[in-house]
Structure 1
Amino acid sequence: MSEITDYELYEVPPRWLFLKVTTSDGTVGWGEPVVEGRARTVRAAVEELMEGYLLGEDPARIEHHWQRLYRGGFYRGGPILMSAIAGIDQALWDIKGKRFDAPVYELLGGAARDRLRVYQWIGGDRPADVGEAAREKVEDGFTALKMNGTAELRRIDSPAAVDAARDRLEAVREAVGDEVDIGVDFHGRVSKPMAKRLVTALEPYEPMFVEEPVLPEHNDALPEIAQHTTIPIATGERMYSRWDFKSVFEQGVVDLIQPDLSHAGGITEVKKIASMAEAYDVAVAPHCPLGPIALASCIQVDAFSPNALIQEQSLDIHYNETSDVLDYLADPDVFDYEDGYVDIPDGPGLGIEIDEEYVKRQSEEPVDWHNPVWTHDDGSVAEW
């Protein structure tokens, strides 16, 4: 029996944290445990879990380890703990796949599809010039796009603010036509009254979904918002376990959930969330504006989940100014997007090979990414 003998953590640009786990037989697994802007905090949590629970243990007992990491502490859940567990879980699945010389999805039931649709981000935090950006990405072969719907909004804002959001979506729709899907991310920036007005205003342009129309702590408002639109409602990137999703499924108004494989407990937990969603006729589109290990983990879950709809990926996203997804891979062709799809990888484990020397060099660069703190005109804090 092999055992977990060592681990290393690498904070790398633009805002990612990579975990390397090594076993006594020399097998290496990679994970991506991070909360964007809180990498150092998650790093401390990973160190605590690895030192306290996993060194010297058999890496094969993934479910058992997940239960110990989650239930072994009296206080549970939340972004820091669940992200630390997520990255460790990804690394353990990577090790298991390599041990059996099989992709993770083969160990979980096999692929339910041959390829996976992906979408491409356009625009920035304060979206501008989205029409031309949309046209360029469609020319590159993407058939689905996502954009921020608004910049910061007041709790009750002006008609001009609603018009600006509508005009941006109209510009994209006119640029790409009716055969391209457009997701609109409210990013939790929108209050309940403004969400009701915005979904009504955006309805004529038929977005693929509206994402996080309100903050997850206000999910009780989703049924009221849903009464104002036929646009599919998506949420879940700031929900961290199946218990967080439980009430959303019971509401019956969310059409698409977006758990994050680096925040919601990793492959072990998200496969359970996806199965719960299937029982409620809800599709899955994992959140992933992150690095290559997180994306590879998402694709493993998408591959065997019959209700997986589409996958977010962060190539060329506005956060990736210094390093991008493919830079850390020995073979970047594994994420070769063609006609808006990516093939399901057939390599063992997570299906990627990390360029470890590049990771080490990049980890020597200073990384201090934090999301901006926006304010309204009166100086009060706005949602970013």
Structure 2
Amino acid sequence: MKITSMDIFQLQWFGLMPAWHPVVIRVNTDSGISGFGEAGLAYGSGQLGAVGSLKDLSQKIIGWDPMRTEAIWDHLYQDTFWGKGGGVVFYSAVSAIDTALWDIKGKYFKVPVYQLLGGQTRSRIRAYASQLQFGWEDHVKFLTTPDEYANAATKAVSEGYTAVKVDPFMIQEDGQLGIHDKQLLSQSEMGLFFDRVAAIRKAVGDTTDIILECHARLNVNSAIQFADKVKALNIYYMEEPNSPKNPELTKRIGAKTSIPLASGERLTTRYGFRPFLKNRSLSVVQPDLGICGGITEGKKISDMAATEDVSVQFHVCGSPIATAAALQLEAVIPNALIHEHHEISLKTPNIDSGEYRHEPKNGWFEIPNRPGIGQELSESAIEQAKIETIQ
């Protein structure tokens, strides 16, 4: 079996978020089996870079046997020059290719990918309702008042979720997106952000876990400030309290708080995670399988984390392809903690872009047992996408 071509789909879902632009690929073979993967840059800036990298890297793998996932990954690392220094744009392309190859491999053997990675350690996984600052509905809202945050959390809990995540810093009191890298928080800011989290705790009670999302909007000083302020609210873990560029600074925050720290959605490869595992600054690592290097690398990162008693929560913010890939690896690794169900996954255009509808029930995801990753793009998503084919 040989790789013959790659289709690059820029999905067209306007109106979901100010900037929402998933990039999905389909790797085709001479046997008629195709596999899907996603570059994890559906948000922020960089999707066109991912498209460019995919065009470049596709030329490196056409003619290869798709079953040789390890050899292909190493080829892209060793023989592209930038593999040994590439960041999220380069590795989003590697990730998409790697996931698509695992999808092909599972379809060839007619088994879910998890069977090829060691089999299940679980048949379902708890999910959390993610990014409540945008509401928990079929359309995006920018929430401002503590009551709005409480109502969003209450709605999620009413659907069976026992854990929620919120970024209380992202949206300012006037409804505008806030600035990054807060220095010291003023008492006014501290009060607004705290009140939002406190309102959620009051609304959901003591038995629901609250994950505090920071999106690296704080620095060491303000992160320590706010961690001390919310300590009594029993935070499950604090995500991306500062920029992941300096692991020693993350360690400094951890030394000042008993709240477990999490990070990793902007990190690539096992080499990017190694410093955080070596200094044990994180209790939870959050690789994104659309950025870190795909399923091949995600498994290695997870195994490395296990040697340091570090849990894994894959970052998931993309199309149903991204969700499917994460569920396959979550089924396998013993240190998988919880699954991220992003509010973008509630949106009808997002749901409809997948061939199969697969959502949590009562706050839990059942692991799908279809061959491969268990998901493909729907015909409607493909018809609406901007498509480029590399042969």
TM-score, normalized by length of structure 2? 0.88
Corresponding residue to 2:353 among 328, 331, 337: 328
How far, CA to CA, are the matches of 2:359 and 2:189 in structure 1?
Answer: 38
Following TM superposition, by how much is the alpha carbon of 1:314 offset from its aligned partner in structure 2, in angstroms? 2.5
Following TM superposition, by how much is the alpha carbon of 1:364 offset from its aligned partner in structure 2, in angstroms? 4.9
Does the residue aligned with 2:368 lie in a helix, a strand or coil?
A: coil
Which residue of 2 is the match for residue 113 of structure 1? 122
Which residue of 1 is the match for residue 3 of structure 2? 4
Which residue of 1 is the match for residue 133 of structure 2? 123
Residues 321 and 140 of structure 1, relative CA distance in 2, 3 Å threshold: closer
Which residue of 2 is the match for residue 374 of structure 1? none
How far, CA to CA, are the matches of 2:40 and 2:257 in structure 1?
Answer: 35
How far, CA to CA, are the matches of 1:183 and 1:206 in structure 2?
Answer: 9
Partner deviation per Cα, 1:315-354 (whole Å, 9 max, x = no partner): 446xx86822x2112220xx23112111011110001243
Partner deviation per Cα, 1:80-111 (whole Å, 9 max, x = no partner): 11110000000000000000000111001000
Following TM superposition, by how much is the alpha carbon of 1:177 offset from its aligned partner in structure 2, in angstroms? 0.6
Partner deviation per Cα, 1:109-135 (whole Å, 9 max, x = no partner): 000012011111211396532100000
* Number of residue equivalences: 357
Which residue of 1 is the match for residue 51 of structure 2? 43
**Conserved 8 A contact 1:127-1:150:** no
Q: Which runs of 5+ in 2 are unaligned?
A: 14-19, 135-140, 171-178
Does the residue aligned with 1:270 lie in a helix, a strand or coil?
A: helix
Which residue of 2 is the match for residue 15 of structure 1? 21
2:213 is the counterpart of 1:185? yes
Residues 127 and 257 of structure 1, relative CA distance in 2, 3 Å threshold: farther
How far, CA to CA, are the matches of 1:362 and 1:59 in structure 2?
Answer: 28
Does the residue aligned with 1:264 lie in a helix, a strand or coil?
A: coil
Which residue of 1 is the match for residue 79 of structure 2? 72
Which residue of 2 is the match for residue 259 of structure 1? 287
2:96 is the counterpart of 1:87? yes
Residues 46 and 178 of structure 1, relative CA distance in 2, 3 Å threshold: same
TM-score, normalized by length of structure 1? 0.89
**Conserved 8 A contact 2:40-2:289:** no
Which residue of 2 is the match for residue 57 of structure 1? 64
Which residue of 1 is the match for residue 153 of structure 2? 134
**Conserved 8 A contact 1:234-1:257:** yes
Letter in 2 for 1:349: G
2:177 is the counterpart of 1:168? no
Which residue of 1 is the match for residue 248 of structure 2? 220
Residues 354 and 126 of structure 1, relative CA distance in 2, 3 Å threshold: closer
Following TM superposition, by how much is the alpha carbon of 1:49 offset from its aligned partner in structure 2, in angstroms? 0.6
Letter in 2 for 1:62: T
Does the residue aligned with 2:334 lie in a helix, a strand or coil?
A: coil
Following TM superposition, by how much is the alpha carbon of 1:40 offset from its aligned partner in structure 2, in angstroms? 1.3
Following TM superposition, by how much is the alpha carbon of 1:34 offset from its aligned partner in structure 2, in angstroms? 3.8
Partner deviation per Cα, 1:137-177 (whole Å, 9 max, x = no partner): 11111111111131336312312212222111110000001
2:305 is the counterpart of 1:306? no
277-286 vs 65-74, which moves further: 65-74
* Identical aligned residues as a percent: 34
How far, CA to CA, are the matches of 1:127 and 1:241 in structure 2?
Answer: 35
Following TM superposition, by how much is the alpha carbon of 1:360 offset from its aligned partner in structure 2, in angstroms? 2.1
82-91 vs 221-230, which moves further: 221-230
Letter in 2 for 1:9: I
Which residue of 1 is the match for residue 175 of structure 2? none
- Superposition RMSD on alpha carbons, in Å? 1.7
Residues 60 and 364 of structure 1, relative CA distance in 2, 3 Å threshold: closer
In the TM superposition, structure 1's runs of 4+ consecutive aligned residues that sit over 3 Å from their partners are: none
Q: Which runs of 5+ in 1 are unaligned?
A: 366-384
**Conserved 8 A contact 2:38-2:95:** yes
Following TM superposition, by how much is the alpha carbon of 1:43 offset from its aligned partner in structure 2, in angstroms? 0.7
Residues 321 and 142 of structure 1, relative CA distance in 2, 3 Å threshold: closer
Which residue of 2 is the match for residue 102 of structure 1? 111
How far, CA to CA, are the matches of 1:343 and 1:46 in structure 2?
Answer: 31
